């Protein structure tokens, strides 16, 4: 074994501190979870502990005093202790993605592979939270972003035309209210329509009630399975299985160990497109059992909740460019303050979207800012042109 240089010792100590800090993050998250998620997070912490042991072994008696891990792991641990939310898991996913063991000659191939697998494990855990947030979060982010961009563009366009401050303020407030009402109504209709579409696609319970009265020779049940996408042979086989169970119940009645009436219902419905608990049911669909279809409405969220979320967040975003005028600022100063405040808010919404989606927060933030700046520039140009033409 080669003699460790001072730079090697520093690098090994840094890796040791990071592994300990990362293990602490997973333990903190596990403390706020239960069941399977808790077990998974504790297993991740144990794996990071094995990695830490590798660096301890290399350092031997030169481990030195305990060091603090990288700042990102300290921030993650702090967030995990206080929130333990999908935001922390998304950040942990990005931390795992930045692992550099492939390029470190002193890390084993197994450790490098572990880190890549850990990224996928954390991605899957974060996806559960993302699915739970999807409906309301989408409405909130889009509402806030639309409010920021549209009302800033409106205020700047009107101001560029040489409009008095009082008119700019009234225009901004009118844009806030009209936009918030429009966004809320649109979100309600969108989610409500999706829920109605899903409800119309669910199999009929009355069809399940008709199963015991089917003509076994005609085997019309096979048509149901063919309509659901099975091949002719698959549909016949599936229908024969269900009809055989029906025939058994007819002859003997419900018996211990045999098919029960409720099971026949489930056998008929389980191959439908509706997702079910225990099959490929969406995370967060609590309360469903193996024999019950999951309520698809939980997938798209509440129509009223989405509408209120969209209304409130649009209004809060649209209020930002109006605030300087409400506070008595005028002219160029008011516009500069409005643009600066909206820029900060756009950077914030972009970073949050990046964190939740698992993308790079900085790039997402800059993208949001660029879109807002582009819209403001266009309306400023049109407003200035209109003002010049009128003059």
pLDDT digits (tens, 9 = 90+) for 346-373: 998 888 777 666 667 788 889 888 988 8
Examine the fold and report which residue of 77, 100, 131 is the final residue of a domain before the chain moves on. Answer: 131
173 shares a domain with 89: no
pLDDT attached to residue 215: 54
329 shares a domain with 291: no
Residue 150 maps to a domain: yes
123 shares a domain with 231: no
Residue 190 maps to a domain: no
381 shares a domain with 320: yes
Q: Which residue has the higher pLDDT, 93 or 116?
A: 116
pLDDT at 297 exceeding the cut of 50: no
98 shares a domain with 28: yes
Give the residue numbers spanning the domain of 225.
Answer: 199-300
pLDDT attached to residue 308: 84
Judged by average pLDDT, the poorest of 53-57, 66-70, 222-226 is 66-70
**Max CA-CA distance within the chain?**
93
pLDDT attached to residue 100: 76
Q: Where are the alpha helices (DSSP H) in the chain?
A: 6-30, 35-59, 71-82, 86-97, 109-160, 165-201, 205-209, 221-227, 232-252, 261-269, 297-300, 303-319, 323-326, 331-357, 361-390
pLDDT attached to residue 173: 92
273 shares a domain with 204: yes
pLDDT at 39 exceeding the cut of 80: yes
Over the stretch 242-276, which tens digit does the pLDDT of each residue have?
Answer: 777 666 665 565 554 444 444 445 455 555 444 43
Structural domain count of the chain: 3
pLDDT attached to residue 368: 86
319 shares a domain with 170: yes
Examine the fold and report which residue of 272, 300, 328 is the final residue of a domain before the chain moves on. Answer: 300
235 shares a domain with 173: no
119 shares a domain with 77: yes
pLDDT attached to residue 389: 46
pLDDT attached to residue 278: 39
Over the stretch 61-74, which tens digit does the pLDDT of each residue have?
Answer: 888 777 776 666 66
Model confidence, pTM: 0.55
Dihedral over Cα of 306, 307, 310, 311: its sign: negative
Q: Which residue has the tokens 């205020």?
A: 155
Examine the fold and report which residue of 274, 300, 326 is the final residue of a domain before the chain moves on. Answer: 300
287 shares a domain with 208: yes
122 shares a domain with 12: yes
pLDDT attached to residue 385: 79
| pLDDT classification of 284: cutoffs 50, 70, 90 | very low
Judged by average pLDDT, the poorest of 41-50, 161-170, 261-270, 302-311 is 261-270
| pLDDT classification of 381: cutoffs 50, 70, 90 | confident
């Amino acid at each position: 074994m080669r003699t460790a240089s001072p730079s090697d010792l520093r690098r090994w100590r840094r890796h040791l501190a990071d592994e300990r800090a990362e293990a602490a993050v997973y333990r903190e998250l596990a403390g706020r979870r239960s069941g399977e998620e808790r077990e998974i997070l504790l297993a991740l912490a144990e794996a990071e502990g094995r990695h830490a042991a590798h660096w301890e072994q290399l350092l031997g008696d030169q481990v030195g005093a305990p060091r603090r891990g990288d700042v990102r792991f300290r921030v993650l641990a702090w967030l995990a202790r206080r929130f333990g939310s999908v935001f922390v898991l998304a950040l942990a996913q990005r931390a795992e993605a930045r692992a550099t063991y492939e390029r470190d000659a002193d890390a084993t191939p197994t450790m490098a592979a572990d880190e890549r697998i850990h990224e996928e494990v954390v991605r899957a855990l974060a996806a559960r939270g993302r699915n739970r947030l999807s409906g309301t979060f989408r409405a909130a982010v889009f509402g806030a972003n639309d409010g920021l961009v549209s009302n800033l563009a409106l205020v700047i366009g009107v101001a560029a035309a040489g409009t008095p401050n009082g008119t700019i303020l009234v225009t901004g407030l009118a844009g806030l209210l009209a936009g918030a009402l429009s966004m809320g109504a649109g979100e309600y209709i969108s989610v409500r329509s999706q829920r109605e579409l899903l409800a119309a696609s669910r199999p009929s319970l009355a069809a399940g009630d008709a199963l015991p009265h089917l003509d076994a020779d005609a085997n019309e049940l096979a048509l149901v399975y063919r309509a659901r996408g099975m091949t002719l042979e698959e549909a016949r086989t599936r229908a024969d299985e269900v009809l055989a169970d029906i025939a058994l119940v007819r002859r003997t009645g419900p018996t211990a160990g045999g098919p029960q009436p409720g099971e026949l219902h489930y056998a008929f419905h389980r191959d439908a497109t509706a997702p079910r608990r225990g099959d490929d049911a969406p995370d967060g669909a609590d309360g469903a059992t193996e024999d019950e279809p999951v309520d698809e409405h939980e997938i798209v969220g509440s129509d009223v909740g989405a509408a209120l979320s969209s209304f409130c967040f649009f209004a809060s975003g649209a209020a930002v460019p109006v605030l300087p005028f409400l506070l008595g600022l005028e002219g160029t100063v008011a516009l500069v303050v409005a643009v600066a405040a909206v820029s900060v808010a756009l950077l914030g919404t972009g970073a949050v979207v990046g964190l939740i989606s698992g993308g790079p927060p900085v790039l997402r933030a800059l993208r949001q800012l660029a879109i807002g700046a582009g819209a403001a520039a266009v309306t400023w140009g049109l407003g200035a042109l209109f003002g010049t033409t009128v003059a």
